[in-house]
């Protein structure tokens, strides 16, 4: 069996990635396909943690949240990530994988609280850890949660899964001549005003010298290619 390029990774999934072609919510076929990709790298011996957003769930209630206090809306978003995490963990269970959901906010009747030593133990045991509820604080995105948790667990890289296969010189949907960066430094990405992650998450990854790989979760086999170190997506590095 070919050896993966990374032993421990943090996968950042957007909530929108779970929607498929639906307007909001969770598309079952989409989540099952993602779980199949996760199973493939888990079988390679890669220790995997996941942070997932809640935009797909929150999108359904967004019109009613207009004018709402920002902190309250953010807490609602955290609960949406818990829902996504439970759905993802259940789909992994049905696929024969062992997953543990750990929440940054206390809802012990539903999922266990995030405790770093316990998360590290789960990873060493080969279990997949899903970090829910972001950082547990309003005003911080799940990108920041991914950077934070990735740093805490000693991940070698943050894999940012999107619907685009990397970072481009311009928006490829608007500019057909846009080209994909194979790799780019943090400083160069900042200088070029490239939106890889939100500013807080990006700064944390840069300070911790934690590389980011941006790739398409929609592309079949892309996750495995990234883990194997192939030329897939865009690597953002120090």
The predicted-structure confidence for 137-195, as pLDDT tens digits, reads as follows 999 999 999 999 999 999 999 999 998 899 999 888 889 899 999 999 999 999 999 98
3 is in an annotated binding site: no
Question: What backbone phi and psi angles, to 5 degrees, belong to 112?
Answer: -80, 155
Distances (CA, A) of 224 to 17, 112, 127: 17, 29, 18
Q: Consult the annotation and say whether 216 binds a ligand.
A: no
Q: What was the pLDDT predicted at 57?
A: 83
On whether 59 is known to bind a ligand per the annotation, the reply is: yes
Residue 185 counted as an annotated binding residue: no
Report whether 72 belongs to an annotated binding site: no
Burial of 6-26, coded b for 16+ CB within 10 Å and e otherwise, reads bebbbbbbbbebbbbeeebbb
Residue 94 phi, psi dihedral angles, 5° rounding: -65, -20
Please state, in angstroms and as integers, the Cα–Cα distance from residue 83 to each residue in 6, 101, 151, 225, following that order: 29, 10, 24, 29
Tell me if 90 is assigned to a ligand binding site.
no
Say if residue 60 carries a ligand binding annotation. Answer: no
pTM of the model: 0.94
Beta strands in the chain (DSSP E): 8-13, 47-52, 99-103, 112-113, 128-132, 157-162, 183-185, 212-216, 234-237
> Could you read off the pLDDT tens digit of each residue along the chain, which spans 238 residues?
578 999 999 999 998 888 888 888 888 999 999 999 999 999 999 999 999 999 888 765 666 667 788 899 899 999 999 999 999 999 999 999 999 999 999 999 999 999 999 999 999 999 999 999 999 999 999 999 999 999 999 999 999 999 889 999 988 888 989 999 999 999 999 999 998 999 999 999 999 999 999 999 989 899 999 999 999 999 999 9
Token pair recorded at residue 90:
């259940």
Q: Is 142 annotated as a binding residue?
A: yes
Query: What SS3 state is found at 167?
Result: coil
Residue 140 assigned as binding residue = yes
The β-bridge partners of 213 are 159, 235
Q: What percent of the chain has pLDDT over 70?
A: 96
106 annotated binding-site participant:
no
Would the annotation count 81 as a binding residue? no
Domains plus CATH for the chain? 8-237 (3.40.1160.10)
């Amino acid at each position: 069996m070919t050896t993966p390029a990374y032993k421990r990774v943090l996968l950042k999934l957007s909530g929108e990635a779970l929607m498929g072609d639906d307007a909001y919510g969770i598309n079952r076929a989409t989540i099952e396909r993602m779980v199949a990709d996760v199973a493939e790298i888990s079988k390679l011996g890669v220790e995997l943690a996941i942070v997932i957003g809640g935009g797909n769930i929150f999108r359904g209630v967004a019109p009613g949240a207009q004018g709402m206090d920002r902190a309250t809306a953010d807490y609602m978003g955290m609960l949406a990530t818990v829902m996504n995490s439970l759905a993802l963990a259940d789909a992994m269970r049905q696929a024969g994988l062992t997953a543990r959901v750990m929440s940054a906010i206390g809802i012990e009747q539903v999922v266990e609280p995030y405790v770093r030593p316990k998360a590290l133990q789960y990873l060493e045991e080969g279990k997949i850890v899903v970090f829910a509820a972001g950082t547990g604080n309003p005003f911080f995105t799940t990108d920041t949660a991914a950077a934070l948790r990735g740093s805490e667990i000693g991940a070698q890289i943050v894999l940012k899964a999107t619907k685009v296969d990397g970072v481009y010189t311009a928006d490829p949907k608007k500019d057909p001549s846009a080209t994909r960066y194979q790799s780019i430094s943090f400083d160069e990405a900042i200088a070029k005003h490239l939106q890889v992650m939100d500013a807080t998450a990006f700064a944390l990854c840069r300070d911790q010298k934690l590389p980011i790989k941006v790739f398409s979760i929609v592309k079949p086999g892309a996750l495995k290619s990234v883990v194997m170190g192939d030329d897939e997506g865009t690597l953002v590095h120090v």
